[in-house]
Structure 1
C-alpha cells in the first residue's frame, strides 16, 4: 500500500501560516517526505470578513500557494456560516474544486493514489470530507473532544462533534489516538480497532546543540532561576498552581509564553497571577523563536489540570520540552508517566513546587542524556513511518 500513494492531503486545524501555535497536523505535513503534499487550511469563519476585503474578493475560488514542498490551499467561501445550509454549499464548492485538482494531477483514479489525513480537530468539515469520498483515510484522535467544556456545554457544538466522530470512525481506513485513554474510550464507544500513536517533535529545532539562537531581548539580564511555561493558557492549564508556585517561591522568576483564551479560564486568578512582581507574561511568540526563550530557562513547566480532557491528552509541548535537554516539571497526567525516569511528575500542587526545587538542585548530565535520547525516538519522521506501516498491515 505504501508504494501506491503519490499524494497526501492533510486537513488542517490551524491556518498554515499561523506562526504562534504549533500543532500535530502541520508537523506531520512537513515530515511526509517523498509524497506530494497538500495542506488544507480550516474555514476562516465570519471573522475573515472584518477588514479583509482581499480575502472576500478571492474567496469564491480555491487559493493555492507553495511553501517549500507543501501546497497550501485556502478553501473557497470559508466565511459562510453553518446556518441556512450555507456551510454545506461552501463544502460542496470546496470538494468539487479539490477533486478537479487531484484528478488533473493524478488521473481519474486519483483516489487510489491519494492518502487523506484528518484529525479530531477538524469537526466542522464533515460535509467536505463526505463529498470527497476518500478511499484511503487516516483519522487521528488528538484530543477527547467530548470532554472539552466548550464542547460538552454547548448542545449544537456537541452534536456537530458527534456527527463528525460517527462519520470518521465509520469511514476511515485507519484510526489512531495519541493516548491509551483515547484508545480505550473510543474503541469501546465505536467498537473498532484504534491504534496508539502519540505526538512527536522536531528534535533539531529544539536541540541544545544548536548554538545559533540569538538572545531573547525580553529576558536579557533576567535574574535566575527562570521557570518557563510555554503553551496556550486555557481550560486544561492549572493557573491556580502557577499562582501558588509564584507565591511560595517569590525568588523564582516565572515566565509564561502563549496566547490566553479568556473565555475558558478563571479570569480573576489569571489577572491576579499576571500582576505578581515575579511573573512575566509575554503573550504569543512565533514557534520558530521559542528556542531563543528556552535557552534562558532553568526549568520548564507543564502545569496541567487533572480534568478529563487533560488526562486523555498527549501534550505536544511535553515532547518539545524533552528535546531541549532542560529539566521538566509536570503534573503527573498519564502522558507524563512514561518519562518518569527523568521528568519530574508531580502528584499535586505541593509536590509540584517541591519537585521544582529538586529539579533546580539535582539536574545532571546523566538525566539530560536519558531525556535527549528519549526525544530522538519521537521524531515526526518516525511517526510517519508508523502510520505507513500500519496502513500496509491493515490494508
Structure 2
C-alpha cells in the first residue's frame, strides 16, 4: 500500500459499545493496523432533544472516532426559527460532516467507504462522502428476517446494488459467499472473529469448585434464530440444571412462557464488558439455534466467544459449526442435544478446555482484518 488509508465505516444500528458487534471489533482492529491512518465509524442519524450541532462525536481512541449524525444540523425550535430553518436547509448534516472529515484529512484519494447494509442512509453516504474505494460487508442476510418492521424488498434491492457496485464484498458465511460472489468477482469469505478480552485461562466445571447447581447458559439476541422450544425441552428434561438466558429479547420470551419454569432464568442483556466473565462462570455454553435460511446466512459470533472462554459447547448442527465438530458437541435432535449435555458433564476436562482456548486464539479479529487489508492493497 503506497499510502495509509482513512476508513469510514457505516453500521446499520446505533449500538456502539453495547454488544461488541462485528463492525465494532473490525473498527478497533483497523485502528491498530499499520496501513491505516484514521478510522471513523458513522452510525445511523438520530433525533436528539438536547442537540447542539450536526452530530455526537466520540473519540474512542487516538485514531478512531464514532459519529452519530443528527437529522438536522441544529434544532428547529427556539429563538430565530426562520434562521434555524434556513440553516438546516442550507447546511444539511451530511454537508457539514463532509466538511468536518475534510478538515480531519479525509480526501477522495485516501478514503475507503466501508458499509454494512441494509440501511436507507447508505446511498446518501455514497453520494456525499468522497471515497476512492467502496467495500460492502455482509455479516448476515436480513432478507430472511421476519420481523414486521423490516422491509425485505428494500434489503434485497440494496444488497444486490451494493454488491454489484462495490470494489470489494466481504461475507462472513459460506452461504453468503456463494450468493454474492456471483454478483462481484472480488468477494471474500472471512468468518467472524474473537476479541482478546474473551481469551480465558483453562478451567474445569465451575459448579464443582463452587458447589452449586450446574449452570447451562445461552448468550445471544433472542429472536427468530433462537429455538425456544429446544431450551424448554432441556429445562424440562434436566430440572436439576439451571438454564440461564441472556441477551436482548426480540419479544418471544414472554410469549413463550418459558421463564415460568423454576430452573429457567432470564437475566436480560449482559453489558459487553462483563460478557467474558459471564461465559467463564457457566458450566456449558448452549447454542440452540434453528436451522433455517437466516441461520445459514451467518456464522454466530458467539461461537468464537464461547470457544475463547474455554467452556464446553453444545450446539445444534447449523451452518458454520461443521469445522468445529471436534470441539463442539453437535446435535441433530432435541434428545440428542440433552444427551450431549450429559456426555459433556461426564467427559469434559481441563485438557479439552485448553484445546478450545488455543483454537480460539487463532481466530482473533487482528488476523481477520489482516486478510481484509491484504485484499484492499490490490486496489491501491
Q: Following TM superposition, by how much is the alpha carbon of 1:372 offset from its aligned partner in structure 2, in angstroms? A: 1.5
Q: Following TM superposition, by how much is the alpha carbon of 1:62 offset from its aligned partner in structure 2, in angstroms? A: 2.6
Q: Which residue of 2 aligns with 1:126?
A: 123
- C-alpha separation in 1, matches of 2:119 and 2:12: 6
Q: Does 1:389 align with 2:354?
A: no
Whether contact under 8 Å (2:111, 2:130) holds in the other structure is: no
TM-score normalized with structure 1 length: 0.83
Q: Which residue of 2 aligns with 1:37?
A: 39
TM-score normalized with structure 2 length: 0.86
Q: Residues 3 and 301 from structure 1, CA distance in 2 versus in 1: closer, same or farther, beyond 3 angstroms? A: farther
- C-alpha separation in 1, matches of 2:355 and 2:287: 19
Q: Following TM superposition, by how much is the alpha carbon of 1:268 offset from its aligned partner in structure 2, in angstroms? A: 3.2
Whether contact under 8 Å (2:7, 2:39) holds in the other structure is: yes
Name the Cα RMSD after superposition. 2.7
Please list, as runs of the form range in 1=range in 2, the aligned pairs for 1:139-154 lying within 5 A after superposition: 139-150=136-147
Q: Residues 16 and 224 from structure 1, CA distance in 2 versus in 1: closer, same or farther, beyond 3 angstroms? A: same
Q: Which residue of 2 aligns with 1:165?
A: 159
Q: Following TM superposition, by how much is the alpha carbon of 1:187 offset from its aligned partner in structure 2, in angstroms? A: 2.7
Q: Which residue of 2 aligns with 1:183?
A: 177
The correspondence for 1:314, drawn from 295, 299, 320, is 299
Whether contact under 8 Å (2:12, 2:119) holds in the other structure is: yes
- C-alpha separation in 1, matches of 2:329 and 2:253: 26
Whether contact under 8 Å (2:314, 2:340) holds in the other structure is: yes
- C-alpha separation in 2, matches of 1:28 and 1:227: 30
Q: Give 1 or 2: higher helix fraction.
A: 1
Q: Following TM superposition, by how much is the alpha carbon of 1:339 offset from its aligned partner in structure 2, in angstroms? A: 0.7
Whether contact under 8 Å (2:202, 2:353) holds in the other structure is: no
SS of the residue corresponding to residue 98 of structure 1 reads: helix
- C-alpha separation in 2, matches of 1:177 and 1:31: 17
Q: Following TM superposition, by how much is the alpha carbon of 1:121 offset from its aligned partner in structure 2, in angstroms? A: 4.8
The correspondence for 1:24, drawn from 22, 26, 42, is 22
Q: Following TM superposition, by how much is the alpha carbon of 1:61 offset from its aligned partner in structure 2, in angstroms? A: 1.1
* Structure 1 unaligned blocks of 5 or more: 80-88, 216-220
SS of the residue corresponding to residue 320 of structure 2 reads: helix
- C-alpha separation in 2, matches of 1:364 and 1:304: 25
The correspondence for 2:223, drawn from 226, 234, 258, is 234
SS of the residue corresponding to residue 53 of structure 1 reads: coil
Q: Following TM superposition, by how much is the alpha carbon of 1:330 offset from its aligned partner in structure 2, in angstroms? A: 1.0
Q: Following TM superposition, by how much is the alpha carbon of 1:293 offset from its aligned partner in structure 2, in angstroms? A: 1.9
- C-alpha separation in 2, matches of 1:296 and 1:76: 40
Q: Which residue of 1 aligns with 2:193?
A: 200
- C-alpha separation in 2, matches of 1:78 and 1:285: 33
SS of the residue corresponding to residue 277 of structure 1 reads: coil
Q: Which residue of 2 aligns with 1:86?
A: none
Count how many residue pairs are aligned between Structure 1 and Structure 2.
357
- Which stretch of the first structure deviates more once superposed, 4-13 or 328-337? 4-13
Q: Which residue of 2 aligns with 1:93?
A: 92
Question: Could you report, residue by residue, the CA deviation over 1:328-374 in whole angstroms, capped at 9, with x for unpaired residues?
Answer: 11111121111111111111211111111111211123322321122
Q: Following TM superposition, by how much is the alpha carbon of 1:210 offset from its aligned partner in structure 2, in angstroms? A: 9.8
- C-alpha separation in 2, matches of 1:240 and 1:341: 26
- Which stretch of the first structure deviates more once superposed, 68-77 or 340-349? 68-77
- C-alpha separation in 2, matches of 1:231 and 1:222: 27
Q: Residues 16 and 309 from structure 1, CA distance in 2 versus in 1: closer, same or farther, beyond 3 angstroms? A: closer
Q: Does 1:245 align with 2:234?
A: yes
* Structure 2 unaligned blocks of 5 or more: 74-87
SS of the residue corresponding to residue 335 of structure 1 reads: coil
- C-alpha separation in 1, matches of 2:38 and 2:9: 11
- C-alpha separation in 2, matches of 1:123 and 1:325: 40
Q: Which residue of 2 aligns with 1:53?
A: 49
Q: Does 1:104 align with 2:98?
A: no
Q: Does 1:63 align with 2:50?
A: no
Whether contact under 8 Å (1:123, 1:161) holds in the other structure is: no
Q: Residues 98 and 337 from structure 1, CA distance in 2 versus in 1: closer, same or farther, beyond 3 angstroms? A: same
- C-alpha separation in 1, matches of 2:245 and 2:123: 36
- C-alpha separation in 2, matches of 1:223 and 1:344: 24
